Amino acid sequence: MTTNEKTLKPPSGYIMLFVIFFFLIIGVGGIIALKSGWFILLIILSLLLAMGLILVNPNESRVLLLFGDYTGTVKSNGLFWVNPFYTKKKISLRARNFDSERLKVNDKLGNPIMISTILVWRVEDTYKASFDVNNFENFVVVQTDAAVRKLASLYPYDNFADEGLDEDITLRASVNEVSEALEKELEERLDIAGIEVLEARIGYLAYANEIASAMLKRQQATAIVAARYKIVEGAVSMVEMALDELSRKNIVHLDDERRAAMVSNLMVVLCSDKDASPIVNAGTLNH
């Protein structure tokens, strides 16, 4: 039993088209001129031969079967003639675009997210597409959804420091890595149907509605904490530099108490989110 695609190159159909018209004209002319019923056989023969004509357009194919037995696949373009008793199944070889529905799944951390994928695919093996699966188009849809669900469970939506995670790959930030993983997963799943994956990438990604508002606040809080961390880090460096410069140039001598007060004042000024209001001391340093 054949288990792989077999490419056929049938004879050109133009010569047979001429033969069909010749038989048809002779048959019709014989019936009209000679009034003989035997010419009906020529008409029947021409119609039978016409059943063997197939037209294959660019990026199309014809899968041929003879009483349930796979004979081969015609992928060449043009007009051909094959056995009239062949069953001819048309399969397009063009690239197809599939935009999946938005699925509600859980990421690696268990957070519900909405995700969809855009898949570009085409039929590579017509035998597998025709006989190894029931409906290869529906097979692509179902397996794509399954691959997206599996992919979402392998990676977190985002990498939050408070989760204790050190994930290099996330669904939101690692677009190229996630797309490569999705393509590999789909290639393994769709190979049984003779499907070639040309491109696969995430088309839509967002938190589910029930947690979207809370996660947005969390992202904002994380951004604020990160910004404050940078501000404090810079302020400490600036205060250290100021104290070092005062000591090195002997501008003023500060004891520990005044040094602590100066550090406190500088940190308040540098870390505050509002402009400082300076107060001029007209008396001594102790008043």
* Res. 54: pLDDT tops 80: yes
Quick one: pLDDT at residue 40? 84
Distance CA 224, CA 246 (A): 33
* Res. 66: pLDDT tops 50: yes
Query: How does pLDDT run across 143-170, given as a tens digit for each residue?
Result: 999 999 998 888 888 775 545 445 577 8
Query: How does pLDDT run across 15-45, given as a tens digit for each residue?
Result: 898 988 888 888 877 777 777 767 788 888 8
Domain covering 96-207 assigned CATH 1.10.10.10 in the classification:
no
Query: How does pLDDT run across 244-253, given as a tens digit for each residue?
Result: 777 777 766 6
Quick one: pLDDT at residue 41? 86
141 vs 217, residue with greater confidence: 141
Quick one: pLDDT at residue 21? 87
Quick one: pLDDT at residue 160? 57
- Burial 64-89, CB ≥16 within 10 A → b, else e: bbeeeebbbbbbeeeebbbeeebeee
| Contacts with 36 (C-beta within 8 Å, 6 or more apart), sequence order | 30
Average pLDDT score over the chain: 81
Say if CB 26 and CB 39 are below 8 A apart. Answer: yes
In this prediction the pTM is 0.69
Distance CA 202, CA 176 (A): 10
- What percent of the chain is predicted at pLDDT more than 90? 33
Query: How does pLDDT run across 174-197, given as a tens digit for each residue?
Result: 888 889 999 999 999 999 999 999
Quick one: pLDDT at residue 8? 87
Query: How does pLDDT run across 121-135, given as a tens digit for each residue?
Result: 999 999 999 999 999
Hey, where are the domains in the chain? 7-92, 96-207, 222-271
